Amino acid sequence: MPASLPPLTALRAFEATARHLSMKKAANELNVTAAAISHQIQFLEEQLGVRLFHRRNRRIELTELAQSCLPMLRDGFEQLRQAVDHIRNQRAADVLTVGASPSLASRWLMPRLHRFVLLHPEIDVRVSTQMRQFTRLPSGSRGDFESVIQWADEVDLLAVFGNGHYPGMQIDQLLPLEITPLCSPALLAAGPRLKKPTDLTAHTLLHDDRGMLYEGRSFWERWLDAAGIRHPAVASGPHFTHSVLAIEAALAGLGIVATTPALVSGELARGTLVAPFALRVALPSGYFLVSNPLAARRSVVGVFRAWLLDEARQEHAAPGSIA
């Protein structure tokens, strides 16, 4: 194993003293006493087992070994400074990084984001999505607890589907969700008929697998149970990890999907998707806003969080809302 580095304070004291060839000037630069600088250099010499300075009566001189390593040490401090500047620039007051699940980003967030940009042109919003790994949640249901906690350390704000159980994080529910079957009007027109839930047995079922991935139970099973229907092939038909893909399949007339109407409010309003049945079943899971405590304190995070929650409230309160 490589030897451990001496403390950064000792290295910094040496670099400043070597640059000024004066402990007093180094102390003034680092806002400490000359005695503290002398102590740090003595400590560093003992740690390294070498002498770094020749002490003369009224001056100090670098040893030959110290002279040879000083340029590399200066380069190292410059690299550290650039790294810190990079972090500061990335976390500048007007830059906001937002993580969102792919379906929520494409179906709900992006169609609305232009409104936030018009309200706050000074804030640079950067949206990222990613595939998440699934682990066992404390409740015993399927979920993505560990990946959400890790992702929250990489962005300012997350908007994710789940049960909202993320200890230590700041959590707000963005969208409570319901599920219902949805399909294209062309599929209804082409038949077979779809007048009552038992008619589903004659149709292809499309599966939005968020239910299985996060809750251990499919959306179709949950809806059919609420409708009091037994479907002999409830697991048959195409399965999609992301709801956006299941929705696209339904739009293309490939079958009927049990999914969350909140992601397709535009399609329902335009009539490119229809809900053949009135029954909507509430889900235990929903979409949540998640921030780690440090990110939550940033003013831009508060501004964006408040705007997202307001957008969700307005949609839920709108006449004829199906979210």
Return residue ranges of the chain for CATH 1.10.10.10. 8-90
What percentage of residues in the chain have a pLDDT greater than 90? 53
d(CA 15, CA 18): 5
Band (131; pLDDT cuts 50, 70, 90): low
Q: Provide the pLDDT for residue 59.
A: 85
Q: Which fold has domain 95-176+285-317?
A: D-Maltodextrin-Binding Protein; domain 2 (3.40.190)
Q: Are strands 256-259 and 170-182 parallel, antiparallel or unpaired?
A: antiparallel
State the average pLDDT over residues 128-144: 56
Query: Smallest Cα–Cα separation from 311: which of 323, 294, 299?
Result: 323
Residue 258 φ/ψ region, left for φ over 0, alpha for ψ in the -120 to 50 degree band, beta for the rest: beta
Q: What is the DSSP-derived secondary structure letter of residue 263? A: G
151 has pLDDT over 50 = yes
Q: Provide the pLDDT for residue 231.
A: 84
d(CA 172, CA 249): 31
- Considering only the C-alpha atoms of the chain, give the largest distance between any 2 of them, rounded to a whole number of Å: 103
What would the pLDDT profile of 244-279 be if each residue is shown by its tens digit?
Answer: 999 999 999 999 999 999 999 899 999 999 999 999
Q: Can the peptide bond before residue 121 be classed as cis, meaning omega within 30 degrees of 0?
A: no
- Distance in Å from the first CA to the final CA of the chain: 57
219 has pLDDT over 60 = yes
- Contact by Cβ (8 Å): 142, 213: yes
CA–centroid distance for 128 within its chain: 8
**119's tokens:** 């309200």
Return residue ranges of the chain for CATH 3.40.190.10. 95-176+285-317, 177-284
Buried b (16+ CB within 10 A) or exposed e, 11-27: bbbbbbbbeeebbeebb
d(CA 49, CA 72): 19
Query: Smallest Cα–Cα separation from 256: which of 214, 293, 316, 202?
Result: 202
d(CA 86, CA 84): 5
Band (150; pLDDT cuts 50, 70, 90): confident
Among the listed ranges 32-36, 50-54, 143-147, 232-236, which one has the minimum average pLDDT value? 143-147
Q: Provide the pLDDT for residue 320.
A: 44
Question: What are the backbone angles phi and psi of residue 170, rounded to the nearest 5°?
Answer: -85, 125
d(CA 159, CA 73): 43
Q: Provide the pLDDT for residue 162.
A: 85
145 has pLDDT over 80 = no
pTM of the prediction?
Answer: 0.67
Q: Which residue has the higher pLDDT, 165 or 275?
A: 275
Q: Which long-range contacts (CB under 8 A, 24 or more apart) does 107-115 make?
A: 107/243, 107/244, 107/247, 107/263, 107/264, 108/175, 108/262, 108/263, 108/287, 109/159, 111/266, 112/311, 115/311
Q: Which residue has the higher pLDDT, 322 or 267?
A: 267
Q: Provide the pLDDT for residue 3.
A: 62
- Contact by Cβ (8 Å): 242, 248: no
Rg, C-alpha atoms of the chain: 30
317 has pLDDT over 90 = no
Q: Provide the pLDDT for residue 215.
A: 76
Question: What are the backbone angles phi and psi of residue 246, rounded to the nearest 5°?
Answer: -65, -40
304 has pLDDT over 60 = yes
Q: Provide the pLDDT for residue 98.
A: 94
What would the pLDDT profile of 3-62 be if each residue is shown by its tens digit?
Answer: 678 888 999 999 999 999 999 999 999 999 999 999 999 999 898 889 999 888 788 999
State the average pLDDT over residues 85-90: 64
- Contact by Cβ (8 Å): 96, 88: no
CB atoms within 10 A of CB 218: 22
**161's tokens:** 């589907």
Query: What is the overall mean pLDDT for the chain?
Result: 86
Q: Identify the bridge partners of residue 286 per DSSP, sorted by sequence position.
A: 162, 176
Q: Which CATH number fits domain 8-90: 1.10.1740.10, 2.40.50.140, 3.30.300.130, 1.10.10.10?
A: 1.10.10.10
Q: Provide the pLDDT for residue 233.
A: 83
Domain 177-284 has CATH 3.40.120.10: no
What would the pLDDT profile of 111-128 be if each residue is shown by its tens digit?
Answer: 999 999 999 998 999 999
